[in-house]
């Protein structure tokens, strides 16, 4: 948490980690400014990678509305999203900031419980907001997949290899840890989850309630953040995040093709 160069105050549970721990001014400045700049920069980087990938496809004679182009666009976006947090960790020489290891029994248990909790939350949340008259908007991947259902199947390896690892590295691995170090466990989780939810607004393209979608995304971020805080292993939220997204794409494929 706070280093020896400045004082800090904290609120702790008996024998537990500090729920609130305010580091020195430098830690608070770095935690907030670096988090915001990392997220903005990562999405700019993702956009640049998409442009490069699109240019390569143009040279190869592949049209922009083909399934191949959609897959390359999605893959390059998440590849670009992962570059900046990795570069940040290398620049700061803080690889230890991100906890990552092979899963032990506790981690596997957390994955199973977390996956059930996330799925239950998302399904219940979607029903609740719909019952209240706020149908969540859909993101670009879902809309393009409805036009080309096979894309839903192509998205699954992207989710497993790029999407979930990149987003969890950025939001839980780096941003949550920076905010945690500066402000404590709860502000770290809530801050990273709020940013996680808000940035998903930019991916919405269909009619519906953007606010409902963002609220659900924030809630899912809190669940993933709690899992990461509990296990200190980024592989856990990556796995749970991937499980939910894969379930969504498989369900959409079945629905769109009439398999179900």
pLDDT at 19 over 90: no
Q: What angle do CA 109, 113, 114 make, to 5 degrees?
A: 110
The answer to the question of residue 160 being in a domain is yes
Tally the domains of the chain. 1
Paired residues of 137 in beta bridges:
none
Question: What would the pLDDT profile of 116-130 be if each residue is shown by its tens digit?
Answer: 999 999 999 999 999
In the chain, DSSP finds a helix count (H) and a strand count (E) of 10, 2
Question: What would the pLDDT profile of 24-59 be if each residue is shown by its tens digit?
Answer: 788 888 899 999 999 999 999 999 999 999 999 999
The answer to the question of residue 245 being in a domain is yes
Residues 6 or more apart whose CB falls under 8 angstroms from that of 171 comprise 39, 192, 193, 195, 196, 221, 224
Q: What is the pLDDT of residue 16?
A: 54
- Looking at residue 104, the DSSP 8-state letter turns out to be -
Question: What would the pLDDT profile of 99-112 be if each residue is shown by its tens digit?
Answer: 999 999 999 999 99
- Residue-level length of the chain: 260
pTM of the model: 0.90
The answer to the question of residue 252 being in a domain is yes
- Confidence tier at 202 by pLDDT (50, 70, 90): confident
The answer to the question of residue 3 being in a domain is no
pLDDT at 65 over 70: yes
Q: For the purposes of burial, counting CB atoms within 10 Å of the CB of 221, is it exposed (0-12), middle (13-18) or buried (19 or more)?
A: buried
The answer to the question of residue 1 being in a domain is no
The answer to the question of residue 205 being in a domain is yes
The answer to the question of residue 235 being in a domain is yes
Residue 245 and residue 253: Cα distance in Å, rounded? 12
The answer to the question of residue 135 being in a domain is yes
Domain range enclosing 247: 22-257
């Amino acid at each position: 948490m706070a280093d020896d160069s400045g004082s800090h105050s904290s609120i702790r549970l008996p024998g537990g980690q500090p729920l609130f721990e305010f580091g020195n001014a430098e830690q608070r400045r770095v935690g907030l400014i670096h988090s915001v700049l990392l997220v903005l920069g990562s999405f700019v980087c993702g956009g640049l990678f998409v442009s490069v990938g699109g240019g390569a496809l143009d040279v190869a004679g592949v049209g922009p509305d083909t399934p191949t182009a959609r897959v390359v666009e999605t893959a390059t976006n998440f590849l670009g999203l992962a570059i900046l947090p990795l570069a940040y960790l290398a620049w700061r020489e803080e690889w230890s900031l991100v906890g990552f290891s092979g899963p032990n029994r506790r981690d596997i248990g957390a994955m199973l419980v977390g996956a059930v909790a996330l799925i239950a939350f998302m399904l219940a949340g979607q029903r609740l907001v719909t019952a209240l008259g706020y149908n969540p908007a859909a993101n670009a991947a879902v809309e393009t997949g409805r036009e080309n259902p096979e894309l839903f199947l192509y998205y699954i390896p992207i989710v497993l290899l790029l999407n979930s690892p990149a987003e969890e590295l950025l939001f839980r691995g780096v941003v949550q840890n920076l905010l945690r170090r500066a402000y404590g466990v709860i502000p770290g989780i809530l801050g990273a989850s709020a940013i996680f939810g808000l940035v998903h607004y930019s991916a919405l393209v269909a009619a519906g309630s953007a606010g409902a979608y963002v609220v659900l995304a924030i809630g899912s971020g809190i669940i993933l953040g709690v899992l990461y805080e509990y296990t200190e292993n980024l592989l856990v939220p990556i796995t749970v995040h991937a499980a939910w997204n894969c379930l969504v794409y498989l369900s959409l494929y079945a629905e769109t093709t009439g398999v179900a």
